[in-house]
Structure 1
Amino acid sequence: MRVDYQREFPEGVAALVALEAALHKSPLEPALLELVRVRASQINGCAYCLAMHTRDARGRGEHQVRLDTVAAWRETPFFTQRERAALAWCESLTDLVHAGAPDADYARVEAVFSPRDIAALTFAVVAINSWNRLAVGLGADVTSLDGIGSVAAHPDSDRAEPPVLLR
């Protein structure tokens, strides 16, 4: 880790934790929140958050096929209209510089979410993007998550061996 942001700026971490607590109290379904967290983390290339949120989603009973295909949600029949709207909104806000939160994506969200839900969903996207930037920018170690263990390099190639799961 480049900087232990939890130790060096606990007030910032506490603010994000408080935002997460507010999201847990929001009217949004926990499964939908996890899909949004997974999709933003995929876009941002955050291995730590991907490992965490796919684990959390599976723990809530999410089907593995949906997790495997969330990056291609437009191409599958596995997601509801509400989830599709949330994923499109997530993608737009995560790639704000290129996507710019288009009216079509907002209209899709507005058709299936209340104003309160839209605000909560937008805060959920803000939160996961914040966590992704901390983890990627400051180097969170995915191998430290839940006993995954380190990934050892294979001596005969540049490819890594699969991690040893300690559970």
Structure 2
Amino acid sequence: MKPRLNYRTTSPHVFQAMMNLQKADSSSAIDPVLHELIKIRVSQINGCAFCLDMHAKDLLKLGDYQDHILLLSVWREAPIYTETERAALELAEAVTRISEKGVPDAVYEHAREYFDEKEFMELILAINTINSWNRIAISTGMFPGCFA
């Protein structure tokens, strides 16, 4: 198995644009654990094995979050997630599936209970950044370990 192409070398300007977006996302004040949970959940929804693998491993580097990873696809039924995490995950799902229902007012209002305007926009940036990475990885045939 091998990727369709290596976008990093094929289109360095695309890679640089994504790295600039990633740099802006990485400079946000979002809690690192929450940030990784968002990346994992969005990657689950999009079916991006490369990003799911990467961010699950990144979350495990932050501590004992194995249960958070294992239960993330059913976060609504799992009591281990905080209300803040639930609001962010709900927003991440709505933004990722934006073509289905948009971002309903109730989702926006729930997120704003826990995040001010600046934090809300940082969440939107994080969600959009991982969605972009997922689409690049899936389109170019990336998979866990493909660059090893």
TM-score with structure 2 length normalisation? 0.93
| Residue matched to 1:108 | 110
Per the alignment, residue 37 of structure 1 pairs with 39
Instruction: Quote the Cα distance in structure 2 between the aligned partners of 1:122 and 1:45.
Output: 20
Structure 2 match to 1:163: none
Tell me if 1:81 matches 2:91: no
- Work out whether residues 43 and 131 of structure 2, in 8 Å CA contact, stay in contact via their aligned partners in 1: yes
Residue matched to 1:98: 100
Partners of 1:93 and 1:99 within 8 A in 2 = no
Query: Which amino acid in 2 is paired with 1:114?
Result: D
Q: 2:55 corresponds to which residue?
A: 53
Of structures 1 and 2, the one scoring higher in RCO (CA 8 A, sep 6+) is: 2
In the aligned structure 1, how far is the partner of 2:30 from the partner of 2:64?
16
SS of 1:142's partner is coil
Shift of 1:85: 0.6
Structure 2 residue runs without a partner (length 5+): none
- 1:116 and 1:62, CA in 2 relative to 1: closer, same or farther beyond 3 A? farther
Fraction of identical pairs, as percent: 37
SS at match of 2:110: helix
Report which stretch shifted further, 18-27 or 83-92. 18-27
Matches of 2:80 and 2:4 in 1, distance apart? 38
1:28 is aligned, of 24, 27, 30, to 30
* Count of aligned pairs: 146
Structure 1 counterpart of 2:114, which letter? V
Q: Is the 8 A contact 1:69 1:76 kept in 2?
A: yes
User: What is the distance in 1 between the residues matched to 2:82 and 2:14?
Assistant: 35
Which structure: larger Rg? 1
For residue 86 of structure 1, what is the amino acid of its counterpart?
A
CA shift, 1:143, in A, is: 3.0
What does the per-residue CA deviation read over 1:31-76, in whole Å, with 9 as the maximum and x for residues that have no partner?
1110000000000000000000000000111410111001111001
The alignment's TM-score, normalised by the length of structure 1, stands at 0.83
Separation in structure 1 between the aligned mates of residue 101 and residue 38 of structure 2, nearest angstrom: 17
- 8 Å Cα contact 1:94/1:125 also seen in 2: yes
Question: Hey, what's the Cα distance between the residues in 1 that align with 2:139 and 2:64?
Answer: 29
Give, in whole Å, the separation in 1 of the partners of 2:44 and 2:26: 22
User: How far apart, in 1, do the equivalents of 2:11 and 2:116 lie?
Assistant: 35
Over aligned residues, Cα RMSD in angstroms? 1.2
Q: Residue 4 of structure 1 aligns with which residue?
A: 6
Gaps spanning 5+ residues in structure 1: where? 148-167
